[in-house]
Amino acid sequence: MQRPVIHLVNPLCTAYAGSERRTLGYHALLAEHAKVTLWADVEPDSALSGYPIRRIDPTTNNIPCRGTIVLIGVFVDREDWLAQARPQRVVIVYNTPQPRRLQRLLEFIEEAGLPAPDLIFPSETHRRSTGLGGFIDWGMYDFDSFKPVARQATSRPFTVGRLSRDEDLKHNPHDARLYRGLIDRGMRVRLMGATKLAERFRNDDAVDVLPTGSISAQVFLQSLDAFVYRTHPRWNEPSGRVVVEAMACALPVVAGRNGGYRELMKHGVNGFLCDTHQDAIDCLNRLRTDPTLARRVGAAARATAVDRFGPVHQARVREFLLNGGCRAS
């Protein structure tokens, strides 16, 4: 029996963004079951040189053809080649809050006479924001890498960390004040992907500011005692991959409410959802002073992540991408 042909299309311009990591996760998920090709809209990140990536170039007719085309993200214009590709099936992963781009793409696909696309959303919250139907997939997670590690008894301060891309919308404007409040209560802060704050904490030994990708995400998370995550009020996080990875590492997560990740979190059970700046400080200080609570919430967070996104979830996503089955979330 001939294997299905699947083209995974993404900018692949950074090795650390959630969209790119979702793309590589799909590649790993499908590689044994289909003929899968990775396509980059732009020059791919050199850190991904170990992957068999093809660069889309309509001028030389180097484009995905036939089969299933999976467009991961709508932040790149693809009209110049998509109609020529003549796919049997189109899948759109709508994983960023860009409704106008999504609408324009849907209209183009209809006008071009292409198959009506199947939609994938990274959370039910994000799906509801569109009013459209579709399949829910939070992405692929490696629970053998993102896992808790035994911590030796030391006298180091309780360490709170945050990880994300180094972009303004990924950070709350008042994050620096939050971190200062934690430091004033005797905590240590580790940040990866927040270099714009480096100068503000340049002379403070209680803060480590690391460039994005300077160490692996799992190693960074495994160095923490708790994880904090808030974004700019103008950015509604569609799901929050880093939040799930922190939960997988059995970290108690303290997060703002404007993100799809709140679907996973029950306040005080497997994480904490905070409405105000002071709420976040109070929750983290409570975790610092109550190690039993921190361990209990962290263990529940890990159990939630593994249960929701383990083998059953992965099989359902594989079936949807291969055959269009299991359309319910």
CATH of the domain at 170: 3.40.50.2000
120 and 255 in a single domain? The answer is no
d(CA 215, CA 231): 22
Residue 147 resides in a domain:
no
* CA proximity to 189, closest of 165, 225, 222, 216: 225
- Residue 108 belongs to a domain with what CATH number? 3.40.50
> Based on the domain organization, do 37 and 178 belong to the same domain?
no
* Co-location of 131 and 226 in the same domain: no
Q: What count of Cα atoms within 13 Å lies in the side-chain half-sphere of residue 24?
A: 22
- Mean pLDDT, consecutive 10-residue stretches, the chain (329 aa), reads 92 92 97 97 93 95 96 94 95 96 97 97 96 97 95 82 90 92 96 88 89 93 97 91 97 95 97 94 97 97 98 97 66
d(CA 20, CA 5): 20
- State the pLDDT at residue 325: 55
Dihedral through CA 208, CA 213, CA 219, CA 224, nearest 10?
30
Position 199 scores a pLDDT of 85
pLDDT score of 169: 87
Determine the pLDDT at residue 328: 40
Asked if 59 and 102 sit in the same domain, the reply is yes
Classify residue 66: in a domain, yes or no.
yes
Containing domain of residue 217, as a range? 159-308
Whether 202 and 243 share a structural domain: yes
Question: How are beta strands 5-10 and 68-72 bridged, if at all?
Answer: parallel
Q: Say if 153 falls within a structural domain.
A: no
Its pTM stands at 0.94
Residue 85 lies in a domain: yes
Residue 77 and residue 190 in one domain? no
Domain count for the chain, please give it.
2
154: in domain: no
Nearest to 283 by CA among 238, 312, 293, 259: 293
Predicted pLDDT at 197: 86
Are residues 131 and 10 part of one domain?
yes
Establish if 150 belongs to a structural domain: no
* Residue 188 sits in the same domain as residue 273: yes
CB 12 within 8 A of CB 50: no
One domain for residues 315 and 286 = no
Residues 6+ apart with CB under 8 A from 169: 231, 232, 234, 235
Same domain, 300 and 319: no
**Contact criterion met (CB below 8 Å) for 237 and 219:** no
CB 301 within 8 A of CB 148: no
Exposed / middle / buried, residue 299 (Cβ in 10 Å: 0-12, 13-18, 19+)? middle
- 36 within domain boundaries: yes
Pair 301, 294: CB distance under 8 Å: no
Beta bridge partners of 163: 192
- One domain, residues 180 and 55: no
Whether residues 90 and 44 fall in one domain = yes
